[in-house]
Structure 1
Amino acid sequence: MNRAELGSALRALRQASGKEAKAVARGAAMSASKLSKIENGSVMPSVVDMEHILTAIGVSEGVKAEYMSVARAAATEATAWRLYQRLGYHRKQQQIQAIEARTTLLRLFQPALVPGLLQTPEYVQAVLGRKQLSEEQLARAVGARLARQRILYEPGRQLRFIVTEPVLRWRVLPPLMMAGQLDKLISVSRLPSVDLRIVPLSARQTDFPSHSFSIKDDRMVTVETVHAELAVTDPRDVALYIEKFEGFERVAMSGEDMRSLVEGIRDDLLREQETG
């Protein structure tokens, strides 16, 4: 099977399963029209699309491996943010949630913003509010992102976050709301499934925080750039991101030392609010 035959092969798989296209599309967190275009060969599915579709159909691991190998022929794929805007950012959040639901070990490095799984509603609103969405689209996107946070409380997960200190100081919100966001980080860091670490500005660095990235188990890395999201699945490339994550992990603060750093910045914000 080659890339040109992929769409028709997926359609044959779905039909053999007895499942309607609408049901598979819903399970794959995509529109029925997108699934139709994939099956007709007019749209090439990404690695993420392929995994979602095969899971929704319910194929065996052997069949999944065969189809995924074709999808991975292009190991790094980019999806422009404007496409997500057209489809609805809430669908993007649902896609991420579907991937996270199948992930046991999540490692996320973030040098610019509080990770989405750790954001307060006000912070989510501020971040997604920059995307020029309608009021309804924004409300649905915010709700979908907050719904993802249920994973924080699910047993059997390992959620490891590394954040650089400037993230705590970046004025995404007014001082009082930022203090509330930092309080949430302190609270969430005590959950048994969460390992939150902060790379302090005072630590000597041998690496540079080029951009944020998220590692799902050892199988996929997603990278956010200005214009698109990249999905990286080549094991050699995934290994590079794991190595980078572990390098920052070694110099990051954790436990009570980390919480003391966050509390100090939070207290500065509260004093600023009082005197402002």
Structure 2
Amino acid sequence: MSRSKLSKIETGSVSPSITDVDCILSALGVSDEVKAEYMAAAREAATEVTAWRLVRRLGYSRKQRQVQALESRTALLRLFQPSLIPGLLQTPEYARAVFARKNLPETQLERTIGARLARQAVLYSEGKTFRFIITESVLRWRILPPLAMAGQLDRLISASRLPGVDIGIVALSTPQRDFPGHSFAIKDDRTVTVELVHAETVMTDPRDVSLYVSKFDRFSESAVSGDEMRTLVERIRDELLREQETA
């Protein structure tokens, strides 16, 4: 550990990572019992859990602005999503369908949708990379009527052509060696955000982060991207349009 980093930790200008705590305790030569106690406290501090009921009280639009601030400071964002279209890629109609489930007053709903859509400006920023892995089942999940869902898939196709955006789709027909589990976002190999039914969990322990990086890489290997991804999405979109025509 550098002298400057140690100084910043001592003054409280930066928080020590799990690795930093381990290095400091080892250098101090503390007993195994004391070290175990401090390491347990450090690991607990490296995981932050925020219940959705608290987010609701504070306001979903405020939460979207907080996420926007984090994304603006992130150079590499990797997001795995087996449940729904990622917020950065959602159309207004899709975003409304997502937040409508939360039974918000119309004014709050409009503010929240607007805040989510405002986040998407970051996709056009230079020097940033966004990698999305989405399962095919998400594209077929009927959260919207066929025509509106087809519009959402068109949005995926257009976003996939942006310079800093890579969208991979894990086809249902592709043999797998892992299970999707839940969605997660990795920011710059430093933090992982996981959205559960009851809460959002943010992890900074390097060991936890590496687990999610490995999982993302495994699904990335089996996903299609580029022209192959667009062909798959276009096929599903055309199925929706044919369904709309015959309805």
Quickly name the TM-score band, shorter chain normalised. Answer: 0.7 to 0.9
In structure 1, how many angstroms separate the alpha carbons of the residues matched to 2:155 and 2:42? 39
1:167 equivalenced with 2:116 (yes/no): no
2:35 corresponds in structure 1 to: none
Cα deviation for residue 76 of structure 1 reads: 1.6
Tell me, in whole angstroms, the C-alpha distance in 2 between the residues paired with 1:146 and 1:126: 13
Q: Mind listing any 5+ residue stretches in structure 1 that lack a counterpart?
A: 1-59
How many equivalent pairs are there?
217
RMSD between aligned residues = 1.6
1:123 to 77, 94, 114: 94
Q: CA offsets, 1:220-260, max 9 Å, x none?
A: 00000000000011000000000000000000001111100
Identity %: 65
Distance of 2:242 and 2:15 partners within structure 1: 59
Tell whether the 8 Å contact from 2:17 to 2:205 is kept in structure 1 after alignment. Answer: no
Partners in 2 of 1:261 and 1:150 — Cα distance?
26
Which residue, 123, 141, 155 being the options, matches 2:112?
A: 141
| Residue from 56, 74, 77 that aligns with 2:48 | 77
SS at match of 1:131: coil
Question: Offset at 1:68?
Answer: 7.2
CA displacement 1:80-113 (0-9 Å, x = unmatched): 1010110100011011111111100000000010
Of 66, 70, 76, which aligns to 1:99?
Answer: 70
> Which amino acid in 2 is paired with 1:65?
V
Relative distance call for 1:207 and 1:68 in structure 2 (3 A) is closer
Distance 1:224 1:159 in 2: 19
3-state DSSP of counterpart to 2:45: coil
Q: Hey, what does 1:225 align to over in structure 2?
A: 196
Q: Partner of 1:57 in structure 2?
A: none
Aligned mate of 1:204, from 172, 175, 178: 175
Q: Which string of whole-angstrom CA distances, capped at 9 and with x for unpartnered residues, describes residues 40-64 of structure 1?
A: xxxxxxxxxxxxxxxxxxxx79743
- The AA in structure 1 aligned to 2:240 is L
Q: Which runs of 4+ in 1 moved over 4 A?
A: 60-63, 67-73
Deviations 1:111-163 (A, max 9, x none): 01000000000000000110111111111100100000001101101000000
**Could you tell me which amino acid in structure 1 is paired with residue 87 of structure 2?**
G
Query: Quick one: which of 58, 64, 69 aligns to 2:13?
Result: 64
Inter-partner Cα distance in structure 1 for 2:200 and 2:133: 20
Residue in 2 that maps onto 1:25: none
The answer for the alignment partner of 1:20 in structure 2 is none
The yes-or-no answer on 1:185 pairing with 2:175 is no
- C-alpha distance in 2 between matches for 1:195 and 1:177: 23
- Distance in 2 of aligned mates of 1:147 and 1:71: 35
Quote the Cα distance in structure 1 between the aligned partners of 2:203 and 2:65. 19
2:125 to 154, 159, 162: 154
Match of residue 213 from structure 1: 184
Structure 2 unmatched runs, 5+: 1-7, 19-40
Letter in 2 for 1:273: Q
TM-score by length of 1: 0.76
Amino acid at match of 2:55: Y
Partners of 2:115 and 2:133 lie apart in 1 by 23
Secondary structure at the aligned position of 1:195 is classed as strand
Larger RCO of the pair (alpha carbons < 8 Å, separation 6+):
2
State the TM-score, normalized to the length of structure 2: 0.84
Shift of the alpha carbon at 1:66? 3.6
Match of 2:165 in 1: 194
1:143 maps to amino acid? G
Distance 1:164 1:224 in 2: 17
SS at match of 2:241: helix
What are the superposed Cα offsets for residues 177-225 of structure 1, whole Å, 9 maximum, x if unpaired? Answer: 0000000000000000100000001111000000000000011000000
